[in-house]
Structure 1
Amino acid sequence: MAGGRTKWLFAILQCFLLALVGLGVWDVLFVYEENKCSMTYMFEYPEYIKIKLPNKLTSKYPSYDLYLYGEGDSAEARKNLKATGIPVLFLPGNAGSYRQVRSLGSVALRKAENIHNKFHFDFFSINFNEELVALYGGSLERQTTFVHACIKVILKLYKDQKVAPCSVAIVGHSMGGIIARALFTLPNFKPTLISLIITQATPHVAPVLLVDRYLKDFYTTVNNYWILKEKDLRNITILSMGGGFRDYQVRSGLTIVPSLGLYNNTLNVVTSAVPKAWLSTDHLCIVWCKELVLATVRAFFDLVDHQTNQMTTDLERRMSVLHHHFVNYSEKDSAEDNLESSASFPDPSATWSEIKTYKWTYNSPEFSAWEPKATYFLLPLPSEREPYTHLYCRTSNLEPSNWIYGCMKINQSICQESIDLTGKAELLKMYKIVNFNLDEYRSFSHFIIHISKASVNKRFSIECEFLTAKSRMVSTPVTNVLSLGASTNRIFINSTGLLHKIQLQDFNQIYQAFKIHVRSQCQFTHGKTEDVYRFHVPWSHEDFVVTTSAPSSTVIFAKLHRARPENDSSVPELQLHTARCCRYEITIRTSFLEVLGQLIRFHGIYLPMYVVANILLAFGRQLMHLYSEGRCLDFNSALNAAARPYKVIPVVNLAVFLLRYDWFKEMWSILMLPEMDILTLNRQGSSYPMIPILLFLFGTAIAYWNGIFLRMLLKQLSFLWSIFHRPRIIKKEHKLLNFRSSGIMIFLLFITWTTCGAAALILGYVLYLVKVLSLQSSVRAMKGILNLAPKQEDMKEIAKEEGCKSGMGGHVPKEPEELSPDRLKLLSDSDVDDAVDTLQIHITILHLLNWIILFSAPSFIYWFKNLRYSRRLDPDPCGFVAIILVFSIGVLMNSHSTSVKRSKLLKHTARLQLLLAIAMAAFGLVHLYRVPYFVTFSLVLHAFGCLV
C-alpha cells in the first residue's frame, strides 16, 4: 500500500515538473511581442547572376557557387561582369539561402538611384547549398576557404576600375558571421581584404548546440585568434546584431563578439535598441526586416569616402557612423566628424526670445498668418548656487534641422558665438531628446532652441525643463525570484516634470524576470499625451521602448539578455518620459512564467544531458536490483528509486571548489582531464547554484514521461509485429555471438566505413527496436500461456477427484495429454519472470540508444542532404562511436537476464553508472557531443559483462 502511494506521489511530482518545463518552453516559443517588422519589397524582378569561378575551385567545391545580385536594367548591365561599385559580400547562415541578399541589395539599389548613382554597391552572395553548419562543424573550414577564394575573385572583377577597391565589406547571417571572422585564421589571408563585418543573429560566443567536436575546435580557434591578435585586428570594425526575445534559436547573449575591449572596434546591439526600429526579430526575419535593412543601408552609404567612392578606412569614422545608426540616432549628419561644431546665425529677420522660467513648453499654432521666419528661444543657464543639475528638452514632429545650440557670447539678446549641440540629441520614438549635465556646459551662458522656417505652419511641440537629477530618481529593490509573484513593490510618482527614472536594485542576473505595471492618471480632461517608457540596461545595448498615451495602463516585462559583468556596479533603470500633471503608479512583481522562460532560454539546451544522466542512474539501479534481488525493476520504478540530484550535483560542485587549489589543479592536469563545463558557464555569467538541481529534476520528469510514452508505444507496435511474426518462447540459453549477429556487425561496420557512422547507428537502432518488439510480443504470449495453464493446486484437485472415482469402482479415464505434467513443465513462472527481466533491460538500453540517435541525427541529415556530391561523410563525428556500438549492439541483441545475472562484472557495472552520470554532468553539460561517449562506455561495459 505504501509503495503504491509512493509511486503515485512520484508520478504527480513528475507531472508537475514536466508542466513547469512546458510552461518555460511555451514562454520561449510563443510569449513575445508580435512581429512588427515591415516587409522589404522589390520594385523589379530580382536576378542572381552566377559568377564564373576557376575550374580548380569549382571541382574542389562542386556544391558552392558565387552570385551577384541585380534587378531589371541593373541586372542586364551587370551580366557582362564588369563591376563598378563598392563590393559587399553576403554570407548565409545555417540552412540559409544565397537569395536572402535581395533585401539589402534592392534597398541599396533604390538609394543609389536617389543620389543619381554617384556611387553604388555591388552585393554578392554565396550559395553554401543550405548546409546545416550549426549542427555539423565538419564543413565550416571548407566554407571559410571557399569564401577566401571568392573574395579574391570579387576583387579581380574591379581590376579595370580607376580606383579599384582593395577590401570587401561582409554581411553575415547566423553562422555566416562566424565564417567571416574565421577568415582571419587562415594562414595566407590578408586582413586588409576586409574592412567591415556586420553580423545578424550570429552566435559569436559559442555554438547554440555543441553537438560535435569540430564545432568546438572551430569556435575555439576563431575566438582565441581574435583575442590573442586583437592588436593586429584593431582596424577591422564589427557590428553584431542580436534579434532579441523573438529569436529563440540564437539568444542575444550569444551574439556578443568575445573581446578584451582594448580597442574600440566592436559594437554589439540588440535590435530592440536600434533607433527607428525598436523591435525584436526572429532568426530569419532579421535578414528582411525593413527597419533594420534601412538602418544597415544608410550606414553603408554614410561609410563611403566621397573622395574615393569606396568604404572609408578611418576607424573612428566607421564607429561613429555605426553608433549613429544603431545606438544614438540624431538628426545631425553622421558623416560629420565633430558632433559639437561652431555655428552662426546670419538671418537678420529671425526672432529672438528669452525664456525666464525653468519649465517651458511651446506648441506651434495650427496656422501662422505671418511670413515664415526662423525663431530662437534663449534659455539662461542656472547659476551654480541653484539646485538644478540637468537640462532636459524634447521635441515632437519638429522639422529635421539643427535645433539646439549652446551660446558662449551674447549681445542684446542675440547670440554671437555658439556651438551646435544637435549631434548630442537622441531619437526616442516620436521624440528627439537631450539631457545635458549642466556641469559640462558651464562655459555657456544660454541654451538656444531653434525653430526653422520649414517648421512654421506645421504641428509640433517643444518642452524643456531644468531639473535636479536626484529628485527625479527613485531607487527600489526588485522582488525576490522565489516570491513567485506573491510580493510586490509599489512606487507612486506625482509628475510635475517630463523625466523620471526608477533604478531597479539587485536586478543583474539572467534568471530574473519581472512584470512592471505602469498606470497613469492625469488631471487634464481633454486629449491625451504621448508617454515613452524605456527599459535601459547600462552594460549592454539591449534597451527596449514602449509608447502609450496617458492616461493608460501598460505592462512591461523586464528581463536580461546578458548578466552584469563582474567589475560593473551599474543598475538597470526604467526611464519614464512622462506628461506633467499626471500621477503614475508603478507595480513591480516577479513574473513566474517569464522566470521559467529565462531558465529554458539559457539552460534548456543542457536538459538532454540531465535526461541521459537520469537514465544511466535508472539503469544502474536495475542492474543492482538484479544482482541483489534476482529481479529487474521496470524503468520508471528504477528511476523513482535512483534519480536523486544529491548523488550527482554535490560531487561536481566539490570538484569545482577543489580546483581553486594548486595541488588539485596539478593532479587534474596529470590525469589530463578537460576543463569542467560548469567553469565555461561561469565565464559566460549563466551559472547559479540552484539551477543544476532544477535542471536535474526537469531531466527526471522528462525521462519519466518518456519512459511511459515508450512503454505504451512498444505495446502498440508489438501488437502489429505479432501479426506478421509469430511470438516464440524466449530461450534462456542463447549464444551471444552467432553467425547472424556477426553478419549484422560486419554489415554495419561496412556502412560506417563507406557512408557515415550515423547511418550505421540508425540501422542498428532499427534492428534493436525489432528485437525489443519481438521480446514484447513474446512476453505477452508467454503470460497468456501461463494464465491458461492449470495451477499446481488445480492439478491436485483433479487428481483427488479421479482417485475418488477409482475407489468407487468407476472407470478411470486416460489422463489428457495437454494436462500432463511434462507438458506443463515446459513453461513456468520463473521462465516468464526471466523474460520480463530481459525485456526491462532491453527497454532501458533502447532509451539510451534513443538519445544516441538524437545526437547523431544532425550529421546524418547533413550526409543525406549532400549525398549527390559525396557518398562518404568526411569528417565523421559519429564514426568512432558507431564502430564501438556496432560490436556492443551485436552482443546485447542476444543477451538474456540469466547471462546478466551470471556476470562477474554485474555489481561493478551497476555501480559505475553513477560515476558515468557524475562525469557526464562534469564534462557533457556544454559539450553535448561527449554524452554519446559516456553512453557508449556504459553499453560496452554491459556487453562485456554479458560475455564474462
Structure 2
Amino acid sequence: MVSLAKAYTVTFYGVLALMVAMGIWDVFFGYEENRCSMSYMFEYPEYQKINLPHKLTKQYPAYELYLYGERSYAQENKHLLLSGIPVLFLPGNAGSYKQVRSLGSIALRKAEDIDFKYHFDFFSINFNEELVALYGGSLKKQTKFVHECIKIILKLYEGQDFAPKSVAIVGHSMGGLVARALLTIKNFKPELVNLLVTQATPHTAPVLSLDSYLNDFYKTVNNYWLLNAQNIQLITLSIAGGFRDYQVRSGLSFLTTLSHQTKTLSVVSTAVPRTWASTDHLSIVWCKQLQLSTIRAFFDLIDDDTKQITMKPKKKMSVLNHHFVKNPAKLFEETPNIVADLTGTSKWVPVKVTKWTFMAFNESYAMYFAFPLSNHRKTYSHVFCQNSMLDRHSWIYGCINSVSMCTQGVDLSWKTELLPTMKTFMLKLQDFPKLSHVVVYVPSTNGNEFVVDCEFFQLELRTVHLPVTHLFSFGLTSRQIKLNSNGLFYTVPLLNFGQIYQAFKIDIKSKCASTKVEKNNVFRLHIPWAHEDLMITSKAPTSTEVSLKLHVAQPENDSHAAVFHMFTSSECRYEITIRTSFLQILGQAIV
C-alpha cells in the first residue's frame, strides 16, 4: 500500500510538473509572430548631457539628464537655446536612456515634413539601469530626481517665445510608475506635467512582489490615485504590449480601477489603429507602427496659439481616442466640418440595388453614387460599405431631403473605421431619419485600382450567437456555425466568454465561388469592456486559426458579450469552429 501511495504521489506531481511546463512553454513561445517594424535613425543619434546643479549631482551621483538629437538638430541646440515642446522619457527596469531614440528620431522626421513649424525636444534620464522591478528602494529617489529634472528642463526655455510651462512624459515599464508617483511628492505642482504616456507599465501591482520597498511604493502611489481620482487632472495613456510581453502581463497595465475613466485611456497595442501588433517588453519602445501613432498624436495635441501641447482635457482625450482607439482614416480635427460641398462636374449615378460593387481602374472622371434610403428603411436596419484603401479622406456622404442629388451633404466619413486592409463604414438607418440618400464618392483614379462594396442588411440576420465550449472539454468537443448568406459583414457574439482563465481556438474555413482571385478578409475579436481588440487578416479561400483569450476579465456589472466581427467577401461562404485550448489555459494560469 505504501508503494502504491508513493506511486500515486509521484504520478500526481509528475503530471503537475508537466502541466506547469506546458503552461510556461505557452507563455514564452505560444504567442503571435513579431509584426513590428524596426524604427531606424536616418542620422547618427547624439545624446547631449545636460549640466545639472552641483547640489543635485552630489545628491544623485548615478543619475543624468540628456537631450536627444541628430546631426543638424544636435548642432543647432548645442548651446541649449531650445524653442520646441519638451518631452521627457523615463526608462524602466534596467532600461537605458538611449531608448528615447525611436520616438525622438520619428518626431524629428515629422517636424522636417512641416518645415519645423512645430517640433519636440526629447529629453531622457539615465537611471544607471537600476533593477527597480526587483528592488523598490530606488523608486522614491528616482521620482524626486525626475521632479528636479522637470524644473531644470523648463528653465532651459526661459525667455523664449512661447516658453512651455509643463512637460509631457513618456515612461517605459517602471518609468511609467515613477511618473505617476510624481503626484505623491509633497508640494509637487501637478500642472508641471501636461500628458503622461506609459508603455508596458505594471500599474496595478508589481510583476513580482520581492521586497517591502516595492510593495510600499505601489501602495502609496495607487492609494493616492484612488483617493484623488476626481481631482487628478493629468491625462494618462497606458499602452500594453499584449501576449508577446510575457514580462508584464497586459492586465497589470490597465488603469481602469485606479483613476477617473474620462482622464485615462488604457489600450493593448493589438487594438491600436495602424499598429495592430503585439509587442514584447522591449520592442514596445521601438515598434515603428506604435511610435508613429504616438508621434502623430503628439503633433495633433499642439495648440496653434501657445505652440505647446493643449491644456484642454477634452481635446487631449479626443486626440488619443482618434489615434489609439478608433481611427476614421481622416486627419484629426478638433471641430470637424461635417457639411461638405458636393459640386463640380462629377457624374451622379443612382443605385437602387441592395448590394453593389464598383471596381475602379483608370476612371477619367469622378462619380457620385447615390443610394436612396426611403425604400430600404422598412426592410433593413443598416447600410455597410467598405473600400480597399481608397486614397481619399472623405468618401461617403449623406443627403437630406433630396430627390436624386444634392449640392451640400453631411460628411459621414467620420464614421469610417480604418482596418488593416480596408476602410469600413456602417450606419444604423434609424439613427439618421432625416437622410434621404447615402452617397459614395469615387474620384478619378489615374491608374489606381480599388474596389468599393456596399450593402443594406438586417443586423439580426447577420448576428449568429456562438456559445463557447466548456473549460474542461480539453479541446475534444467543438461547436460550429455556418454562414451561408453572401454578406460583407457578420457579428458573432461569443457567449459565456469573459474570464482570463478561458482560452479557445477558432478555425475559420472559407469556400469561394471563384478561386482565381484571393479575397481580403479581416476578423476582429472585440472586447466591449476593454480596449484589447485583436485583428487578423486572411485571404479567402483559406483556413485561418485564431486564438481567443483575455487580458482583462469581464466586470460583474457588465453584461456585454465579447464579439467576433467578420469583414468578409460576398463571394465566399464561411464555417466557424470553436474548441477549448487546454495548452493556452495552462499558459493563462501561469501568468
TM-score after normalising by structure 2 = 0.98
| Mapped partners of 2:416, 2:425: distance in 1 | 5
Give the whole-Å Cα distance in 2 for the aligned partners of 1:27 and 1:229. 39
Q: What is the identity, as a one-letter code, of the residue corresponding to 2:327? A: Y
Do residues 471 (structure 1) and 461 (structure 2) align? Answer: yes
Instruction: Please give the per-residue CA displacement for 1:851-881, whole angstroms capped at 9, x wherever unaligned.
Output: xxxxxxxxxxxxxxxxxxxxxxxxxxxxxxx
Partner of 1:389: 381
Query: What are the within-5 Å matches in structure 2 for residues 617-628 of structure 1?
Result: none
What percent identity do the matched residue pairs reach?
53
SS at match of 1:520: strand
After superposition, what is the alpha-carbon deviation per residue over 1:856-913, rounded to whole angstroms, capped at 9, x for unaligned? xxxxxxxxxxxxxxxxxxxxxxxxxxxxxxxxxxxxxxxxxxxxxxxxxxxxxxxxxx
The runs of 5 or more residues in structure 2 that have no matched partner are none
For residue 4 of structure 1, report the CA deviation from its aligned partner. 2.1
Paired with 2:330 and 2:512, the residues of 1 have a C-alpha distance of 35
Higher relative contact order (CA 8 A, sep 6+): 2
Give the match for residue 358 of structure 1.
354
User: Is the partner of 1:311 in helix, strand or coil?
Assistant: coil
Aligned to 2:398: 406
1:73 and 2:75 correspond: no
Aligned to 2:41: 42
| Residue identity in the other structure for 1:202 | T
Q: Report the number of matched residues.
A: 591
Q: Which of residues 575, 579, 588 is equivalent to 1:585?
A: 575
Corresponding position of 2:158? 159
| In 1, Cα distance between equivalents of 2:517 and 2:329 | 29
User: Does the CA-based 8 Å contact 2:97-2:126 persist in structure 1?
Assistant: yes
Query: Residue in 2 aligned with 1:379?
Result: 371
Q: 2:450 aligns with which of 453, 460, 469?
A: 460
Larger Rg: 1
Letter in structure 2 aligned against 1:533: F
Alignment of 1:193-232 (within 5 A): 193-232=192-231
SS at match of 1:106: helix
Report the equivalent of 2:114. Answer: 115
Amino acid corresponding to residue 163 of structure 2 in structure 1: A
Return the match for 2:428 from 432, 437, 452.
Answer: 437
In 2: Cα distance, 1:313 partner to 1:337 partner:
16
Residue 94 of structure 2 is matched in structure 1 by: 95
Structure 2 counterpart of 1:818:
none
Aligned partner of 2:438 in structure 1 is 447
One-letter amino acid matched to 1:450: Y
Q: Would you say the 8 A contact 2:401–2:434 is kept in 1? A: no
Q: Which amino acid aligns with 1:272?
A: T
Q: Which residue of 1 aligns with 2:305?
A: 307
Render the CA deviation track for 1:171-195: whole Å, top value 9, x for unaligned: 0000000111110111111111111
Describe how 1:232-247 pairs up with structure 2 within 5 A: 232-234=231-233, 236-247=234-245
Report SS of the residue matched to 1:319.
helix
2:369 alignment partner AA: F
Inter-partner Cα distance in structure 2 for 1:16 and 1:507: 27
Cα deviation per residue 1:777-811 (whole Å; 9 max; x = unaligned)?
xxxxxxxxxxxxxxxxxxxxxxxxxxxxxxxxxxx
Matched residue of 2:402: which SS?
strand
Partner SS, residue 4 of structure 1:
helix
Distance of 1:330 and 1:353 partners within structure 2:
25
Mapped partners of 1:429, 1:544: distance in 2: 11
Deviation, 1:383, is 4.7
Change in Cα spacing, 1:261 to 1:208, as seen in structure 2 (3 Å) is closer
Q: Which residue of 1 aligns with 2:412?
A: 421
Structure 2 Cα separation of the partners of residues 264 and 419 of structure 1: 29
- In structure 2, the residue corresponding to 1:244 is in which secondary structure? coil
Query: CA–CA distance in 2 between the matches of 1:94 and 1:260?
Result: 22
Q: How far apart are residue 401 of structure 1 and its match? A: 2.4
Q: Deviations over 1:500-542 (max 9, x none)?
A: 1111100010000001001011112421111111111111111
TM superposition shift of 1:262: 4.5
Q: For the residues of structure 2 that align with 1:502 and 1:259, how far apart are their CA atoms? A: 29
Return the alpha-carbon distance in structure 1 between the equivalents of residues 121 and 209 of structure 2.
35
2:465 aligned counterpart, secondary structure: strand
* 2:172 corresponding residue in structure 1: 173
Given the superposition, is the C-alpha separation of residues 258 and 390 from structure 1 closer, same or farther in structure 2, using an over 3 Å criterion?
closer
- In the TM superposition, residue 424 of structure 1 has moved relative to its aligned partner by 1.2
Judged with a 3 Å threshold, the aligned counterparts in structure 2 of structure 1 residues 95 and 281 are, in CA distance, closer, same or farther, namely same
Q: Distance in 2 between matches of 1:387 and 1:208?
A: 54
Structure 1 gap segments, 5+ residues each: 602-948
Report the 3-state secondary structure (helix = DSSP H, G, I; strand = E; otherwise coil) of the residue aligned with 2:15.
helix
The equivalences for 1:674-823 within 5 A come to none
Q: CA deviation at 1:138?
A: 1.0
The residue number in structure 2 matching 1:346 is 343
| Conserved 8 A contact 2:256-2:266 | no
Structure-2 residue corresponding to 1:52: 51
User: Distance between the aligned counterparts of 1:536 and 1:8, measured in 2?
Assistant: 47
* 1:353–1:377 Cα contact (<8 Å) kept: yes
C-alpha distance in 2 between matches for 1:382 and 1:63: 72
Note if contact 1:373-1:456 (Cα within 8 Å) is conserved in structure 2: no
Tell me how far 1:495 sits from its aligned partner: 3.1
| 8 Å Cα contact 2:83/2:161 also seen in 1 | no
Report if the CA contact (8 A) 2:377-2:429 is conserved.
no
Corresponding residue for 2:129? 130
Contact 2:102 2:285 in 1 (8 A): yes
| 1:185-221 alpha-carbon deviations (Å, 9 max, x no partner) | 1111111111110000001111111111221221122
CA distance in 2, matches of 1:242, 1:43: 27
Question: Cα offset for 1:225?
Answer: 1.4
CA-CA distance at 1:261 after TM superposition:
6.1
Instruction: Please point out which of 462, 479, 485 is paired with 2:475.
Output: 485
Q: Secondary structure at the match of 1:246?
A: coil
Partner of 1:843: none
Q: Deviations over 1:30-84 (max 9, x none)?
A: 1111111111111111110000111111100000000000011111111101111
Contact 2:200 2:239 in 1 (8 A): yes
Report the Cα distance in structure 2 between the residues aligned to 1:495 and 1:132, rounded to whole angstroms.
Answer: 57
Letter in 1 for 2:294: T
Q: 1:272 aligns with which of 259, 270, 273?
A: 270
Structure 1 residues 322-377: Cα deviation after superposition (integer angstroms, max 9, x where no partner): 11111111222213323x61111231x11111110111111113x34xxx432111
1: CA distance, partners of 2:109 / 2:408:
41
The aligned amino acid for 2:11 is I
CA distance 1:266–1:321, change in 2 (3 Å): same
The 3 A distance-change label for structure 1 pair 263 and 292 is closer
Structure 1 position 260, deviation (Å): 6.3
**1:411-470: CA deviations, max 9, x gaps?**
5x22133111111111011110111111111111111111224x3431011001111111
The code of the aligned residue for 2:351 comes to I
- The CA RMSD over aligned residues, in Å, is 1.4
Does the 8 Å contact 1:317/1:335 carry over to 2? Answer: no
| Alignment partner, residue 250 of structure 1 | 248
Aligned-residue offset at 1:546: 0.9
Q: What amino acid is aligned across from residue 568 of structure 2 in structure 1? A: T
Q: Which residue of 1 aligns with 2:295?
A: 297
What residue in structure 1 maps to residue 16 of structure 2?
Answer: 17
Code of the residue aligned with 1:399 in structure 2: it is D
Partner SS for 1:310: coil
Counterpart Cα distance in 1 of 2:282 and 2:555: 30
